[in-house]
Amino acid sequence: MGTWDSGPFDNDTAADWCGDLDDADVSKRPNLVREALTRAAGEVGYLDADVACEAIAAAAILAAQQPSGQPITSSYAPEFLRDGGRLDVPDDLAALAVRAIDRIMAADSEWRELWEDADAEGTSEAIDAVRDLRKVLAA
């Protein structure tokens, strides 16, 4: 996984997924978000980092649409969502995103292990960012 920063869109996998979301027909976009979250939330074995990266990007998109969410400004996020754009999604996706984040933060998650290994001081901006997404989505 090529990663250049700690934000939800700052890696190759998330950026590619966001490009696919951008290119998708408007009517198919909510289902792509649901699929990314479902893959992560439903994984019972070791969670692959790529699955986690897509789910984190999807969760960030949903969190941005919540009242306390931060707007999406990353140049790697879907273009149609930058600077306050919205995606019409069903209400149940926020709860699904919380379940996906809980799975991503579990002990058997490659994404979590990679960020913990990368941070010798025990504080990770990426992990903190995902925890912040969860707070917004659970509110």
What pLDDT score was predicted for residue 119? 73
Q: What is the pLDDT of residues 104-136, one digit of tens each?
A: 999 999 999 999 888 766 568 999 999 999 999
- How much is the pTM? 0.94
Phi, psi angles (nearest 5°) of residue 66: -85, 155
Q: What is the pLDDT of residues 74-83, one digit of tens each?
A: 999 999 998 6
User: Other CB atoms closer than 10 Å to residue 33's CB: what's the count?
Assistant: 25
User: Distance between CA atoms of 31 and 28, rounded to whole angstroms?
Assistant: 5
Q: Let me know the angle formed at the C-alpha of 97 by 55 and 21, rounded to the nearest 5 degrees.
A: 45
